[in-house]
Amino acid sequence: MAVDNIVLIGFMGTGKSSSGIELARWLRWDFIEMDKDIERMVGMSVPDIFAQKGEAYFRNLETQVCRRLAEKHHTVISAGGGVVTRPENVQILRSFAYLVLLTATIEEIYQRIMQDGKKRRPLLAKSDPMGEIKKLLAIRDSMYRDAANAQVDTTGKNPKKIALEIIELLKTHEGIT
Q: Per residue in 99-145, pLDDT tens? A: 999 999 999 998 888 776 655 666 566 778 889 889 999 999 999 99
What is the predicted pLDDT for the residue at 162? Answer: 97
Q: What is the pLDDT of residue 137?
A: 94
Structure confidence at residue 117 (pLDDT): 62
> Would you state the pLDDT for residue 129?
80
Sheet containing 150-153: give its strands across. Answer: 30-33, 75-78, 5-9, 98-103, 150-153
DSSP secondary structure letter of residue 9: E
Q: Note the pLDDT of residue 175.
A: 61
pLDDT value of residue 64: 96
- Ordered DSSP codes for 78-136: E--TTGGGSHHHHHHHHHH-EEEEEE--HHHHHHHHHHH-GGG-GGG-SS-HHHHHHHH
CA distance 28 to 73: 12
For 5-171, give the CATH class.
Answer: alpha beta
Intervals of the chain under pLDDT 50: none
The confidence score (pLDDT) of residue 113 equals 84
Q: Given this model, what pLDDT does residue 98 score? A: 95
Nearest Cα to Cα of residue 129 among 140, 145, 137, 118: 118
